[in-house]
Amino acid sequence: MKIIVTGGAGFIGGNFVHYMVNKYPDYKIICLDALTYAGNVETLEPVMNKENFMFVKGDIADRKAVYSLFETEKPDVIVNFAAESHVDRSIENPEIFLRTNVIGTSVLLDACRKYGIKRYHQVSTDEVYGDLPLDRTDLFFTEETPIHTSSPYSASKASADLLVQAYGRTYKLPVTISRCSNNYGPYHFPEKLIPLVIANVLNDKTVPVYGKGENVRDWLYVEDHCAAIDLIIHNGKAGEVYNIGGHNERTNLQVVKTIINALGKSEDLITYVTDRPGHDMRYAIDPTKIKNELGWEPATTFDEGIKKTIKWYLDNKKWWENIISGEYQKYYEKMYSKR
Ligand code: NAD
Ligand code: TDX
């Protein structure tokens, strides 16, 4: 089996590449990644020299490059992680989100039609469902929840999902979509909440909490997400959507305090800053379908996962210090200095 993993130099795609290369020595795993600010070849270092792995630098929205890769490699399966993924950046500059997340997806789908594949899998997000109110803890996102987006990021991901479903119905392309809740774990880019807090606390810098820190996210350890996608591409039914999440809801403030306490630092580092515009209140996934149909269940609780994650950031300082010492400083200054 030959699998093209797009966005495999990023956080979740990188973890997925490691997972698949190690689990399936007989498969060929090809990572296609444009190496944007979020892509990092160092994330692929543990697999770079493995015989069943190949890295190709390329843009999913570049039709010529994508067709040429399909022509030479004739992949069986495509797993599309490649995306602009940060909500705050989408609020600053939506256009690149449309180019990569929508046009890029359409180019991949066209390549699948032209060359033929066994499965196209779209890695989507729970953010396509919008948000849930904080005072209705009985409500969860199911696969039937209407699409109702809040940010340019989630609107672009929802547009991509609709295109994937349209290609499934109109051209009978064998597609699946997964919608996962917030991931955390190794190789998470430090612009996102958990790695940002770990890096700031370790550097004794203040920790910016948007609004009152009451917003709720449903956290999933990244390896559990990888295992779910592995199951979907092998056993999932074409045309289906699968929600992925493990009932690990926490307020942002709970998450921040857990990290500060685990690192033995003072909660005085917490600084409340201007809220994110359009900030979604609560995400919470109902994972019944993937549990019943594919037997998936998360293996890692939040308490275990956050300990493993903190340890990884302590053991792999070079990986994230390289990132935060470069261009990232300009980003941080722009987003947080006057907030
Ligand atoms: P990330 O930002 O860490 O990585 C994205 C990767 O895509 C990077 O390696 C980047 O170089 C690459 N990329 C960007 N534009 C590209 C292009 N035009 N062509 C080729 N490669 C390109 O993102 P992530 O957090 O790993 O998210 C991966 C996917 O999972 C995304 O589709 C995201 O929407 C989805 N998702 C993320 C989460 C989460 O909590 N992080 C949760 C649910 C779904
Ligand atoms: O500095 C911060 N302070 C803060 O309070 C940052 C970066 C975030 N936050 C809040 C905003 C959110 O309520 O923390 C929460 C998590 O924020 P992010 O890490 O930016 O994630 P989120 O916006 O929830 O989106 C993530 O999960 C769904 C991913 O980035 C998306 O790609 C995925 O689709």
Residues 7-45: tens digit of each pLDDT: 999 999 999 999 999 999 999 999 999 999 999 999 999
Beta-bridged to residue 5, according to DSSP, are: 31, 79
Residue in this structure with the two tokens 């500060």, named with its chain if needed: 260
**For range 225-251, the mean pLDDT:** 98
Give every strand in the sheet of 2-6, ordered side by side. 53-57, 28-33, 2-6, 77-80, 119-125, 175-180, 241-244
DSSP letter for 43, please.
G
Which are the contacts of 65, defined by CB distance < 8 A and separation ≥ 6?
A: 58, 59
Q: What is the pLDDT of residues 294-339, one digit of tens each?
A: 999 999 999 999 999 999 999 999 999 999 998 999 999 999 998 8
Q: Across all residues in the chain, what is the average pLDDT?
A: 98
**pTM of the prediction?**
0.98
C-alpha to C-alpha distance for 147 and 130, rounded to whole angstroms:
7
Query: What is each CA distance from 68 to 42, 108, 147, 167, in whole angstroms?
Result: 26, 12, 34, 21
Query: In a mutational test of the pocket of ligand 1, which residue from 81, 161, 177, 302 has the highest number of ligand atoms less than 8 Å from its CB?
Result: 81
Q: What is the pLDDT of residues 137-154, one digit of tens each?
A: 999 999 999 999 999 999
* Residue 143 tokens, joined: 């696969």
What pLDDT, on a 0 to 100 scale, did the predictor assign at position 138?
A: 97
**For range 84-112, the mean pLDDT:** 98
Residue nearest to atom 14 of ligand 2 (CA): 193
**For range 97-101, the mean pLDDT:** 98
C-alpha to C-alpha distance for 228 and 245, rounded to whole angstroms:
10
Ligand 1 centre to CA of 291 (Å) is: 25
Does 285 have pLDDT greater than 90? Answer: yes
Going along the chain from its start, the domains and CATH numbers come out as 2-189+219-247+282-302 (3.40.50.720)
Query: In a mutational test of the pocket of ligand 2, which residue from 88, 182, 220, 256 has the highest number of ligand atoms less than 8 Å from its CB?
Result: 182
C-alpha to C-alpha distance for 124 and 177, rounded to whole angstroms:
6
Q: Known catalytic residue: 115?
A: no
Ligand 1 centre to CA of 52 (Å) is: 22
Q: Known catalytic residue: 127?
A: yes
What pLDDT, on a 0 to 100 scale, did the predictor assign at position 338?
A: 87
268 CB neighbour count, 10 Å cutoff: 9
* Residue 225 tokens, joined: 């997400």
